[in-house]
């Protein structure tokens, strides 16, 4: 946030528009349609202290104008582009168009519309909603300095075996048995920072970041699940999370930091007994009670020494 000394106080401020929803359709010559739906949030850094303290709005970009700009820029994008490129384009616009604006943060969440297949054929203009969401947060300064972070939200994954948890601290409050056989389920929130630190270094290849998103998601999933037949044993959520982060950093030289949040969504063994019947239901790795309240909350970030999230 932009900070300033004011009457002996420290004052920080920023303003923007949150949750501007826009959808863009592109019609290819061969009849196929492409579409995206984006939820855009904008924050501008500008010296508009006068508006706060002197009732002078002359340095304010109206948040309504920011909203209109989203639609105007979407209209101008005549070729399909990645959510990252749209966020960068918007942030670049605000910092270059207005002398008053020194920096802009643009965050976008893309709704996971996917082309439908009917009788095995891709539909020309039919889409259905998928599950996980592609996110981006970009910070652009007037100088051209950039911080670009992409991510995934709500990637729900589960495996029914090859997971355990042993060797943890045992004390008078510990009831959890050690196990080498349990369900591992989580909803992954991932974010990763790209190395590109200036607008001039952003790759110009169309849909570069869309491809990267697909590739990062694949590496995360491949590491979580292991090979299709044998899988891979997970000694803890912590270990699996770390291996996922390591895999992303090793595979992609243009990613300098990665953060993962992986709640441990418990599937509790079901054992039901009564005085007369000690085994109404006896657990044999088959019947579970799924619950997300409460859940374990596990998160970590991994970065090269020269970078931070
Ligand atoms: O993978 C796990 N990590 C934990 O920290 C933890 N704590 C717990 O009760 N179960 C688990 N499982």
pLDDT tens across 240-251, in order? 999 999 999 999
| Tens of pLDDT, residues 48-81 | 999 999 999 999 999 999 999 999 999 999 999 9
Q: How far is the CA of 263 from the centre of ligand 1 (A)?
A: 10
* Rounded-to-integer distance, Cα 124 and Cα 116, Å: 9
Residue 2: its pLDDT value, please?
63
Active site includes 128? no
Within the chain, which residue ranges are assigned CATH 3.10.270.10? 11-144, 155-192+205-308
- 123 classed as catalytic: no
Based on the residue annotation, tell me whether 93 is a catalytic residue of this protein: no
Task: Supply the angle between the helices 237-251 and 208-225 in degrees, to the nearest 10.
Answer: 140
pLDDT of residue 47: 86
Residue 3 has pLDDT above 80, yes or no: no
Residue 235 has pLDDT above 90, yes or no: yes
Tell me the average pLDDT across 24-38. 98
Structure tokens at 26: 């592109």
Q: What is the pLDDT of residue 307?
A: 83
Q: What is the CATH number of domain 155-192+205-308?
A: 3.10.270.10
HSE-CB for 266 with a 13 A CA cutoff: 13
Q: Whose alpha carbon is nearest atom 7 of ligand 1?
A: 296
Ligand 1 center–CA 184 separation, angstroms: 10
pLDDT at 148: 98
Measured CA to CA, the distance from residue 18 to residue 67 in angstroms comes to: 9
pTM for the whole structure:
0.96
Flag whether the ipTM exceeds 0.90. Answer: yes
Residues with CB under 6 A from ligand 1: 165, 176, 236-238, 264, 296
Cβ pair 37, 113 in contact under 8 A: yes
Phi and psi at 220, nearest 5°, equal: -60, -45
Q: What is the Cα–Cα distance from 160 to 150, expressed in whole angstroms?
A: 30
CATH number 3.40.50.1220 given to 11-144: no
Any idea what the Cα angle at residue 294 is, between residues 221 and 234, rounded to 5°? 35
């Amino acid at each position: 946030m932009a900070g300033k000394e004011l009457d002996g106080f420290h004052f920080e401020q920023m303003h923007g528009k949150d949750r501007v929803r826009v959808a863009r359709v592109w019609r290819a010559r061969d009849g196929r349609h492409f579409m995206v739906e984006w939820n855009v949030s904008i924050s501008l850094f500008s010296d508009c202290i006068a508006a706060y303290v002197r009732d002078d709005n002359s340095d304010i970009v109206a948040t309504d104008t920011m909203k209109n700009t989203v639609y105007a820029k979407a209209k101008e994008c005549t070729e399909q582009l990645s959510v990252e490129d749209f966020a960068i384009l918007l942030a670049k616009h605000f910092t270059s168009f207005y002398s008053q604006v020194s920096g802009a943060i643009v965050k976008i969440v893309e709704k996971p519309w996917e082309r439908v297949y009917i009788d095995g054929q891709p539909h020309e203009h039919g889409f259905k909603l998928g599950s996980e969401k592609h996110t981006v947060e970009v910070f652009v300064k007037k100088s051209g300095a950039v911080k670009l972070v992409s991510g995934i939200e709500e990637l729900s994954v589960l495996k029914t075996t090859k997971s355990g948890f042993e060797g943890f601290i045992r004390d008078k409050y510990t009831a959890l048995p050690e196990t080498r056989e349990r369900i591992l389920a989580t909803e992954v929130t991932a974010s990763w920072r790209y190395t590109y630190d200036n607008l001039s270094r952003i790759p110009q290849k169309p849909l570069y970041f869309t491809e990267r998103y697909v590739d990062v998601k694949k590496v995360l999933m491949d590491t979580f699940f292991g090979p299709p037949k044998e899988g891979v044993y997970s000694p803890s959520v912590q270990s699996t999370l770390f291996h996922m982060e390591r895999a992303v950093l090793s595979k992609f030289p243009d990613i300098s930091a990665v953060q993962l949040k992986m709640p441990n969504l418990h599937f509790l063994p079901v054992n039901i007994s009564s005085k007369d019947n000690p085994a109404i239901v006896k657990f044999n790795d088959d019947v579970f009670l799924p619950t997300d309240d409460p859940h374990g909350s596990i998160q970590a970030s991994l970065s090269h020494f020269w970078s931070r999230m």
